[in-house]
């Protein structure tokens, strides 16, 4: 039986982070900070064209400068997918280490390495390339028309070669219920087309890699990654090196937001160069290179939604077109997830879904915090407002009547990952938020005049905590952990799970300390690598605390039982009768026989006896897959002011609610909500990546001077930003915990759009809601 949250010693308490001093003092060493003696610096030659054949690369002049060169003919001719999260039947392979036929501006086609970065840059500039230019496409609908030039001649799926006709990479169609009959039940139907923007992750750390060739023929790798084990697996697949000769080290990650869910483009290139030169090789991407390496997915939605006059949702149909860019990273999995994000928000008696992933000549798209959920939630939350208005029901009441909650089945990460909701604070979250902002007395949409017009909008969302399910689907999802007792009574915790910087491993340490009844300082989080850890799939799907913490808890329980057994020997007591407590004065965990004075032993004493009496080390190692992927829920109420002369939107006030089960790290959890708001606001009103159809390159020059994101002054003051958590306990989570990272972002754009609509009486169907777009709509509506 789970304890009350108030009974916890460490869980739910604000504490100093174990990595806090290193981070705030700048002494933390990221991949870009690392170096080795005799290291070469590598630079990449990237395609100047969005679609071309490389006829010849002239390396002579670069080699005269003393540089090493690497061309496509010198690397393994292996098709691969850089993301190894899906099972083989859902993993499409269309990448090569270096491209002979580049499909986007910036795709690597060659590399050089030299003693200094300056020499490497001179060598890159000395390379000359003969190209044959080919037709390029920058719109998914254009690229998938009959007669369009084929971008990929062949892609591989589970050993079978597929010919992607009309540049259609993959499709997914679903139907549940009798949609024909359901449409006849509807009193009102809304049908709309939505288009999302393409966004760059703007993670703090650009991608880096350092590779060292070892004497025995293996390699050591330090890289920017969300998964050290999948990095090793992919390098084994490409280069054929034995797994035991590939060692990938954990390095602190300077945020990621999904940009390194796949093995980064530069990693196999650096490995190939290191194997050729037999010297250590390092590459750190510039910001201009990084912004051309990974982006979020651009999506087109055509949705039809029907309801009864009493406010009951009945049926929906969604057509989804996914612009993949030039290569697949996870398209098929995302098509399934998009269906899950849609149908798991609100109850539909019947639904149908048709989706397609299309190749274009743009930067490859990958996961971005929420994995398509922010785009889907923007569409759903805005059309819910519009349908509510059409049937004459308040948008908040409409949601309360139709949301999918406790005891109901949701699709989670798609139709192959279904589970039952066991904890849900949606109703409390919405009602508390509504009360705080006086929701029912907000201005009537479009009723204001004058230059400045205020609006209040609301929206809700969710994300899964992992990709677990009672029956495993097409997503790999399990973690592993090792815990061992040291001779001083502390424990070492070893895991391959990556912390993106948000405090995931801090939460694991608290879970272990709580279970073992140890002071938090006695839990050591150990730096590790693929040779000293058991497998963890990847830190994604908001699974860090729920799945990774679940594995830590499972192993902590095993260590606890071994401690109990050893203590029983020392105390001459029945093991099952012994209890645990924290002794803060002695800074020890203590095991004692309740009610018998003096019958106790510390962890340090247990370790001492176990060593000298040859009992062995108290330790455990195990893997764990969660049996579900429980949704964590979030809601936002956002107030804005729209300047109708300029189209600028000001963020005035935010009230955000979250149901994350037991909150392990309160301040860090609230920080996730603050970060989610900033990224969602930026998605809603600022960010987009436009391509020049003549050159195929970014119009904004690929730098943060031209690519706009919010400044601190664009965010509300702290007194105008309230975050609250509702009290739920997730029975499958460690100490009742669920995730938070992605759900913090998902509803924001839809909420902002609804607030702007409330201020202006104008609905928007394309992101971003830029000043130009808003101003044009105002002028059109008011005849100016």
CB 755 within 8 A of CB 455: yes
Cα 106 to its chain centre, rounded Å, is 24
User: Model confidence at 1, in pLDDT bands (50, 70, 90)?
Assistant: very low
State the chain's mean pLDDT as an integer: 96
Contact present, 633 and 743 (Cβ < 8 Å): yes
pLDDT digits (tens, 9 = 90+) for 657-669: 999 999 999 999 9
461 token code pair? 């969302």
Average pLDDT, integer, range 718-740: 96
573 neighbors 593 (Cβ within 8 angstroms): yes
Under 8 Å between Cβ of 640 and 650: yes
Angstrom distance (rounded) from CA 27 to CA 784: 57
Identify the CA nearest to 450 among candidates 641, 677, 293. Answer: 641
Judge whether residue 3 has pLDDT over 80.
no
Q: Return d(Cα 271, Cα 12) in angstroms, integer.
A: 43
Q: pLDDT-based confidence at 4, cuts 50/70/90?
A: low
CA distance 215 to 219: 9
Which tens digits make up the pLDDT trace of 378-411? Answer: 999 999 999 999 999 999 999 999 999 999 999 9
Task: Find out whether the peptide bond into 448 is cis, omega within 30 degrees of 0.
Answer: no
The C-alpha atoms of residue 200 and residue 256 are separated, in whole angstroms, by 11
Asked whether the beta carbons of 103 and 326 are under 8 A apart, the reply is yes
pLDDT in tens, 160-202: 998 888 999 999 999 999 999 999 999 999 999 999 999 999 9
pLDDT score, position 701: 76
Please state, in angstroms and rounded to a whole number, the distance separating the CA atoms of residues 608 and 487: 6
Supply angle C-alpha 368, 374, 378, rounded to 5: 155
Q: N- to C-terminal Cα distance for the chain?
A: 66
Structure tokens that stand for 744 in this block: 């913090």
* DSSP assignments along 661-709, one per residue: BS-SSHHHHHHHHHHHHHHHHHHHHT----B-TTT-SBTTTTSTTTS--
- Residue 630 structure tokens: 């429980």
Read off the pLDDT of each residue in 759-773 and give the average, rounded to a whole number. 97
Quick one: pLDDT at residue 470?
A: 86
Q: Which two tokens stand for residue 525?
A: 């989080």
Looking at the whole model, is its pTM more than 0.75? yes
User: What value does the mean pLDDT take over residues 585-590?
Assistant: 96
Of 295 and 6, more confident: 295
Rounded mean pLDDT, 273-280: 98
Classify 583 as helix, strand or coil.
Answer: strand
CA distances from 413 to 380, 389, 628, 660 (A): 17, 30, 11, 18
CA separation for the pair 610, 601 (Å, rounded):
13
Q: In the prediction, which pLDDT does 597 show?
A: 86
For 430, phi then psi, to 5°, come to -70, -40
The strand pairing partners of 631, in sequence order, are 464
* Share of residues in the chain with pLDDT > 70 (%): 99
Token duo for residue 687: 């960010």
Find the mean pLDDT for residues 702-717. Answer: 90
Instruction: Tell me whether the omega of the peptide bond preceding residue 362 falls within 30 degrees of 0, making it cis.
Output: no
Q: Which two tokens stand for residue 665?
A: 């790290």
Residue 2 has pLDDT above 70, yes or no: no
> What is the rounded CA–CA span in Å between residue 599 and residue 397?
59
DSSP per residue over 361-422, as a string? SSPPB---TTTTHHHHHHHHHHHHHHHHHHHT--HHHHHHHHB--TTSEE-TTSTTS-EE--
Name the pLDDT band for 723 (thresholds 50, 70, 90). very high
- Whose CA is closest to 19, among 438, 504, 638? 504
Bridge partners of residue 491, in order along the sequence: 485, 523
**Parallel, antiparallel or unpaired: strands 313-325 and 168-176:** unpaired
Q: Which residues pair with 111 in a beta bridge?
A: 44, 70
Q: Can you tell me the mean pLDDT for 224-234?
A: 98
Instruction: Summarize pLDDT for 546-557 with one digit per residue, the tens.
Output: 999 999 999 999
Calpha distance 399→754 (Å, rounded): 14
Q: Write down the number of H helices and E strands in the chain.
A: 18, 30
* pLDDT higher than threshold 80 for residue 784: no
DSSP string, 715-763: SPPGGGEEEEE-----TTSGGGB---TTTTTTTHHHHHHHHHHHHHS--
Query: Does residue 600 have a pLDDT over 70?
Result: yes
Contact 170, 324 (CB under 8 A): no
Kindly report, residue by residue over 603-613, the tens digit of the pLDDT.
999 999 999 99
């Amino acid at each position: 039986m789970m304890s009350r949250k108030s009974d916890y010693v460490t869980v739910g308490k604000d504490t100093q982070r174990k990595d806090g001093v290193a981070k705030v003092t700048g002494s933390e060493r990221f991949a870009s900070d690392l170096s080795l003696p005799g290291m070469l610096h590598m630079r990449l030659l990237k395609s100047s064209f969005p679609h071309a054949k490389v006829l010849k690369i002239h390396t002579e002049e670069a080699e005269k400068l003393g540089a090493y060169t690497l061309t496509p003919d010198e690397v393994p001719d292996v098709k691969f997918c850089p993301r190894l999260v899906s099972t083989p039947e859902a993993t499409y392979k269309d990448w090569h280490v270096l491209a002979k036929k580049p499909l986007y501006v910036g795709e690597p086609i060659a590399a050089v390495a030299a003693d200094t970065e300056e020499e490497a840059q001179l060598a890159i500039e000395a390379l000359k390339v003969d190209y044959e230019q080919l037709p390029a496409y920058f719109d998914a609908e254009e690229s998938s028309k009959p007669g369009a030039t084929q971008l990929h001649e062949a892609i591989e799926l589970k050993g079978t070669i597929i010919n992607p006709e009309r540049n259609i990479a993959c499709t997914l169609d679903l139907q549940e219920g009798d949609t024909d009959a359901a449409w006849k039940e509807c009193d009102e139907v809304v049908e709309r087309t939505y288009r999302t923007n393409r966004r760059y992750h703007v993670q703090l750390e650009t991608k880096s890699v350092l590779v060292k060739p070892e004497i025995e023929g293996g390699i050591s790798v330090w890289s920017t990654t969300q998964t050290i084990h999948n990095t090793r697996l992919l390098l084994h697949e490409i280069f054929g090196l034995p797994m035991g000769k590939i060692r990938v080290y954990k390095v602190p990650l300077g945020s990621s937001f999904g940009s390194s869910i796949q093995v980064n483009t530069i990693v196999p290139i650096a490995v190939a160069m290191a194997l050729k030169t037999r010297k250590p090789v390092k590459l750190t991407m510039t910001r201009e290179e990084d912004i051309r390496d990974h982006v979020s997915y651009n999506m087109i939605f055509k949705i039809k939604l029907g309801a009864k006059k009493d406010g009951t949702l009945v049926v929906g149909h969604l057509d989804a077109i996914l612009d993949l860019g030039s290569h697949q990273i996870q398209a098929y999995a995302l098509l399934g997830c998009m269906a899950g994000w849609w149908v798991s928000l609100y109850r539909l008696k019947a639904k149908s879904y048709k989706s397609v992933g299309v190749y274009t000549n743009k930067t490859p798209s990958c996961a971005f915090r929420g994995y398509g959920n922010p785009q889907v939630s923007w569409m759903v939350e805005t059309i819910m407002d519009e349908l509510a208005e059409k049937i004459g029901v308040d948008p908040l009441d409409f949601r309360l009547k139709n949301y999918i909650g406790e005891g109901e089945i949701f699709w989670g990460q798609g139709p192959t990952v279904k589970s039952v909701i066991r904890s849900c604070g949606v109703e409390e979250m919405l009602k508390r938020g509504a009360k705080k902002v006086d929701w029912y007395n907000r201005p009537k949409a479009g009723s204001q005049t004058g230059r400045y017009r205020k609006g209040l909008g609301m929206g809700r969302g969710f994300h899964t905590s992992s990709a677990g399910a009672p029956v495993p689907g097409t997503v790999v999802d399990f973690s592993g952990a090792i815990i061992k007792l040291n001779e001083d009574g502390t424990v070492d915790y070893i895991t391959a799970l990556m912390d993106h910087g948000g405090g995931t491993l801090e939460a694991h340490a608290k879970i272990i300390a709580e279970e073992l009844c140890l002071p938090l300082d006695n839990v050591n989080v150990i730096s590790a690598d693929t040779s000293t850890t058991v497998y963890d799939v990847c830190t994604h799907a908001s699974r860090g605390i729920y799945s990774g913490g679940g594995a830590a808890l499972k192993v902590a329980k095993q260590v606890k039982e071994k401690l109990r057994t050893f203590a029983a020997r020392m105390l001459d007591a029945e093991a099952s009768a012994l209890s645990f407590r924290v002794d803060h004065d002695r800074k020890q965990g203590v095991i004692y026989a309740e009610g018998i004075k003096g019958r106790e032993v510390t962890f340090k004493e247990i370790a001492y006896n176990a060593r000298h009496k040859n009992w062995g080390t108290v330790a455990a190692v195990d893997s764990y897959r969660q049996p579900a992927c429980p949704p964590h829920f979030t809601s936002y109420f956002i107030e804005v002011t729209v300047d109708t002369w300029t189209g600028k939107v000001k963020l005035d006030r935010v009230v955000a609610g979250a149901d994350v089960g037991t909150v392990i790290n309160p301040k860090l959890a609230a920080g996730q909500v603050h970060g989610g708001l900033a990224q969602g606001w930026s998605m809603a009103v600022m960010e987009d990546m436009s391509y020049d159809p003549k050159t195929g390159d970014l119009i904004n020059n690929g730098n943060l001077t031209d690519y706009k994101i919010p400044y601190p002054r664009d965010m509300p003051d702290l007194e105008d930003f309230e975050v609250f958590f509702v009290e739920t306990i997730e029975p499958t989570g460690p100490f009742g915990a669920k995730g938070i990272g992605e759900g913090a972002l998902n509803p924001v754009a839809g909420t902002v759009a609804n607030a702007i609509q409330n201020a202006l009486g104008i609905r928007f169907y394309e992101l971003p809601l830029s000043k130009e777009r808003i101003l044009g709509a105002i002028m059109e509506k008011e005849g100016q």
